[in-house]
C-alpha cells in the first residue's frame, strides 16, 4: 500500500482546494518519489547554537547541555533542518502503517495482488510552528539534588550513567521555555531554599516541597501550581507554609513574577486530579483564558490544552478544513451551511469542538476529566455556542451508547445516513496511550460515522494499533464488524520545535 497522491474521485471528501490551501501554508514543497509523496527540503550546513544564558561554570554547562539534549534534542539544527528530520520520521511511520495494512488486506483476501488495489493516501508537507522559541504555555519543574548537591534545586533532571545519580539542572538555557516560566522556577527555588521544610525527593524518605507547574497565555497571564506532600503535618501546620508561600509571591521577592493565580495541591501520590485532591486557590483568579481562532477558552489547573498556542491554531484550521471541506463558509471557507454531527472524543476544554462548531449542526464532546468538561461547557456558553454538548466519563464506557444514539436518531429523523445531513464526523485526540479498544470498536461498528480525524502526538505507539483496527478487513474475533475506513491524507504539524515530536493529523473516510 503505497503512500501516493491519490486520484481525485467524484465525492471524495478532501477536495483539491484543501490540498492547495495546505500546501500554500506549509513550509516545504512536495514531490512524488518512487510513488511516495515526500517533502523536498533544501538542507544547509548544520548551524550550532550556544545556549542563551551567558557564561557558566564548566561542570554546570556540561550538565545543562545534557538537559538540552534530553529535552530539546534538535536545538542545534536550523529550523528548516528540524522540519526535514520530522518529515522523514512521519513518512517512515506512515510507510510502516501502509505496509502493515496492505499485509492485513492481502491476507484477508488470500491474494497478494490485492495490495496494489488498496487506496493510497498523501502525506502533505509538515506545517511549521508560527513560534519556535519559548512556545510552551505549560511547564512542570521538578525538585531534586543539583550539580552542587543542593536537594532544593528546581529544574529538569538527568541521570549520571556511571553512578546512576539523579542531577537536577535549572532550565534557564532551554529554548522551548518562555522566560516567565523560568522566572517562576527560579523564584520557587529561592522560596523552598528559605523554607525550613525539606523537599520531597522520594515519598518514603519524607520531605514536603515537590514540583511546580507554570501555565501562561498569550497575554502573559500566569498561573502557578505548587505540589506538596503533607506527610504527618496537621492542617494548621500546613496553613503556616501556605501563608509563607503566598507572602513570598505577592509581597516578597516572588512578586516579580506577577502571578495571576497561585494554586496549592496536597497529595501523597505521584499524580492525581482535582477529584482525588482538590487544587486550593491561595491567591488570585481561579482560571486563565486563552484565545484560539477568535474563541475564548477557560483553562483550569489540570485541564488539557495544547502546549503551543500558536501552532494549535494551525492544528484547528487543518482539522476544520479536513472535517468540513464543504461546510466552512461562516469562517471563510468555500461551502454551504453546517453539515452533520461532530463527535469530539477526548475533547479536553472543548477547543476542537467549539472551533469547528460553526461548520456542524451539533457537537458532542466526551472527556474523562470532570473539571475539563466544566471548562468546556463554560467555554461554549461564554462564546455563545449553542450546538455543543459535553459529557464527562471514560470514552470507552459512554461512547458506544452515544454513537448508537447518534446513528439511530439520524436515521429516524432524516431517513438514513445518521447524525444529520452529513452523517457523523468523529475527531479523536487521545493521549499517547491511544484509544481504548472499545472506543475503536464503537467508531468502527457505527455506520453513521463516515469520516474520522485522528490527531496523534505519538503515531508510532499505540495509535498505530488504532489505525490498523480502523482500516483492517472485518475481524469477528475482535468484534470489528463494520465497514473499514480508508486513510485519505496525513498532515504533520510541528507543535514542538527543537524536539523530535510533532502532531500527526490523519483523515480516514468510508
Q: What is the DSSP letter of 474?
A: P
The three-point CA angle 276-280-286 to 5° equals 115
Count of CB atoms within 10 A of residue 110's CB? 7
Closest CA to 25 of 291, 290, 308, 313: 313
Q: Is 149 exposed, middle or buried (0-12, 13-18, 19+ CB in 10 A)?
A: exposed
Q: Does the annotation place 379 within a ligand binding site?
A: no
Let me know how long the chain is.
Answer: 510
Q: Does the annotation place 429 within a ligand binding site?
A: yes
Q: What is the DSSP letter of 279?
A: P
Residues 6+ apart with CB under 8 A from 43: 80, 81, 84
Torsions phi, psi for 418 (to 5 deg): 80, 140
From the candidates 168, 457, 472, 502, give the one annotated as an active-site residue: 457
**Measured in whole angstroms, how far is the alpha carbon of residue 442 from the centre of its chain?**
23
Buried b (16+ CB within 10 A) or exposed e, 315-350: bbbbbbbbbbbbbbeebebebeebbbbbbbbbbbbb
Q: Does the annotation place 383 within a ligand binding site?
A: no
Radius of gyration of the chain from its Cα atoms, rounded to whole angstroms: 24
Per-position DSSP letters for 9-43, written without gaps between them: -TT-SS-HHHHHHHHHHSSS-EEEETTEEEE----
Q: Which residue, chain included where needed, has cell 439511530?
A: 408
**Residues 29 and 23: beta-carbon distance below 8 Å:** yes
Residues 6+ apart with CB under 8 A from 240: none
Count of CB atoms within 10 A of residue 159's CB? 12
Which segments within 161-256 are labelled E, that is strand? 165-169, 209-216, 222-228
Residue 225 bridge partners (DSSP): 213, 263
What distance in Å separates the CA atoms of residue 204 and residue 195, rounded to the nearest whole number?
Answer: 20
Torsions phi, psi for 433 (to 5 deg): -70, -10
Q: Is 347 a catalytic residue?
A: no
- Binding site listing: 306, 367, 429
- Binding site listing for S-adenosyl-L-methionine: 306, 367, 429
List, by residue number, the catalytic residues: 457
Amino acid at each position: 500500500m503505497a503512500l501516493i497522491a491519490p486520484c481525485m474521485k467524484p465525492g471524495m471528501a478532501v477536495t483539491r482546494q484543501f490540498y492547495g490551501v495546505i500546501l500554500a501554508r506549509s513550509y516545504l514543497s512536495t514531490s512524488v518519489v518512487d510513488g511516495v509523496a515526500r517533502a523536498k527540503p533544501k538542507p544547509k550546513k548544520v548551524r550550532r547554537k550556544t545556549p542563551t544564558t551567558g557564561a557558566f561554570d564548566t561542570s554546570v554547562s556540561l550538565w545543562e547541555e545534557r538537559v538540552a539534549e534530553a529535552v530539546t534534542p534538535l536545538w542545534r539544527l536550523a529550523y528548516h533542518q528540524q522540519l526535514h528530520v520530522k518529515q522523514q520520521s512521519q513518512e517512515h511511520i506512515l510507510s510502516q502503517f501502509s505496509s502493515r495494512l496492505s499485509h492485513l488486506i492481502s491476507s484477508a483476501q488470500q491474494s497478494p495482488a490485492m495490495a496494489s488495489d488498496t487506496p493510497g493516501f498523501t502525506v502533505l508537507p509538515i506545517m511549521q510552528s508560527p513560534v519556535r522559541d519559548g512556545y510552551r504555555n505549560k511547564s512542570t519543574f521538578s525538585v531534586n539534588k543539583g550539580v552542587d548537591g543542593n536537594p532544593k534545586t528546581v529544574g529538569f533532571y538527568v541521570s549520571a550513567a556511571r553512578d546512576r545519580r539523579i542531577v537536577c539542572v535549572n532550565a534557564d538555557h532551554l529554548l522551548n521555555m518562555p522566560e516567565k516560566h523560568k522566572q517562576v522556577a527560579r523564584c520557587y527555588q529561592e522560596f523552598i531554599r528559605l523554607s525550613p521544610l525539606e523537599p520531597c525527593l522520594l515519598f518514603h524518605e519524607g520531605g514536603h516541597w515537590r514540583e511546580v507547574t507554570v501555565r501562561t497565555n498569550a497575554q502573559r497571564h500566569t498561573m502557578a501550581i505548587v505540589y506538596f506532600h503533607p506527610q504527618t503535618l496537621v492542617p494548621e501546620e500546613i496553613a503556616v507554609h501556605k501563608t509563607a508561600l503566598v507572602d513570598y509571591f505577592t509581597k516578597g521577592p516572588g512578586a516579580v513574577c506577577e502571578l495571576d493565580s497561585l494554586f496549592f495541591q496536597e497529595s501523597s501520590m505521584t499524580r492525581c486530579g482535582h477529584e482525588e485532591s482538590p487544587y486550593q486557590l491561595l491567591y488570585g483568579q481561579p482560571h486563565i483564558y486563552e484565545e484560539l481562532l477568535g474563541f475564548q477558552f477557560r483553562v483550569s489547573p489540570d485541564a488539557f490544552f495544547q502546549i503551543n498556542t500558536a501552532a494549535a491554531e494551525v492544528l484547528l484550521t487543518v482539522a476544520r478544513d479536513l472535517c468540513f471541506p464543504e461546510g466552512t463558509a461562516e469562517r471563510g471557507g468555500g461551502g454551504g451551511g453546517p453539515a452533520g454531527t461532530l463527535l469530539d472524543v477526548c475533547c479536553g476544554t472543548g477547543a476542537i469542538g467549539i472551533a469547528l462548531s460553526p461548520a456542524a449542526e451539533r457537537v458532542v464532546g466526551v472527556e474523562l476529566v470532570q473539571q475539563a468538561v466544566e471548562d468546556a461547557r463554560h467555554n461554549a456558553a461564554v462564546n455563545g455556542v449553542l450546538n455543543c454538548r459535553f459529557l464527562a466519563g471514560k470514552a470507552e464506557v459512554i461512547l458506544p451508547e452515544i454513537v448508537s444514539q447518534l446513528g439511530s436518531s439520524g436515521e429516524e429523523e432524516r431517513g438514513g445516513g445518521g447524525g444529520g445531513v452529513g452523517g457523523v464526523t468523529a475527531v479523536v485526540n487521545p493521549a499517547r496511550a491511544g484509544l481504548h479498544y472499545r472506543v475503536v470498536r464503537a467508531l468502527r461498528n457505527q455506520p453513521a460515522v463516515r469520516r474520522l480525524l485522528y490527531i496523534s502526538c505519538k503515531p508510532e505507539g499505540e495509535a498505530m494499533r488504532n489505525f490498523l483496527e480502523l482500516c483492517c478487513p472485518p475481524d469477528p474475533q475482535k468484534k470489528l464488524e463494520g465497514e473499514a475506513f480508508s486513510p485519505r491524507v496525513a498532515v504533520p504539524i510541528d507543535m514542538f520545535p527543537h524536539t523530535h515530536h510533532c502532531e500527526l493529523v490523519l483523515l480516514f473516510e468510508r
